[in-house]
Chains A and B, each alone.
Chain A
Amino acid sequence: AQTVTQSQPEMSVQEAETVTLSCTYDTSESDYYLFWYKQPPSRQMILVIRQEAYKQQNATENRFSVNFQKAAKSFSLKISDSQLGDAAMYFCAYRSGTASKLTFGTGTRLQVTL
């Protein structure tokens, strides 16, 4: 069974700085997808970024980028120029290429300070 590990329960970053959230996963599959979801306080979870395992190029969405290391099974999220609105719970998730359910990590709570 696939597992997703987020080893940082909480992280803090100053506004305008850069922060990296860690995620590792375990799978024996070669075809899969990885996701970062963000859940702001009292709001619904939204997709931040996704990565297809077959793509070597790291995904980027504005200030959000990933460092996808397939051999190491690592999928970290980098947030540049952090903003107060980035404060949220961040979940890393895995999806097999042959199934649609998501497997999540335990989440990292990100604080953004002035």
Chain B
Amino acid sequence: EAGVTQFPSHSVIEKGQTVTLRCDPISGHDNLYWYRRVMGKEIKFLLHFVKESKQDESGMPNNRFLAERTGGTYSTLKVQPAELEDSGVYFCASSQVDWNQETQYFGPGTRLLVL
């Protein structure tokens, strides 16, 4: 069974540019999460999808971040325009429907550097 995959693995962009990160969850997982780790700090929750619906987006930092999950399969996280403080590692995780017993399976992350 394929794990959670993320693309790209690395991205270097200039301030003001747009970047789109993609996450493919494990097949059959309805729950999809985005997290972010800024250098040296804790991993922070961004948002949670259940299928195509946003269940919790309380961690989204501002309206420069837009997450979508059309069709309830893969998800994209767009940052537009990117700022220096957006640099970090963006993790995606997925889990099965019964989240009370869930294990969240993480992808390898996308390392974003904004110059």
Contact = CB atoms under 8 A, between A and B. Distances in A.
Interface residues of B, number: 27
Contacts of A91: 43
Interface centre among B42, B95, B102, B103 (most CB of A within 10 A): B42
Interface string B56-76: 100100000000000000000
22 contacts: A4-B42, A42-B108, A43-B108, A44-B3, A44-B106, A44-B108, A44-B109, A45-B91, A46-B106, A47-B103, A97-B100, A99-B56, A100-B31, A100-B33, A100-B95, A101-B33, A101-B45, A101-B48, A101-B59, A104-B35, A104-B42, A104-B43
Interface of B: 3-4, 31, 33, 35, 40-45, 48, 55-56, 59, 91, 95, 99-100, 102-109
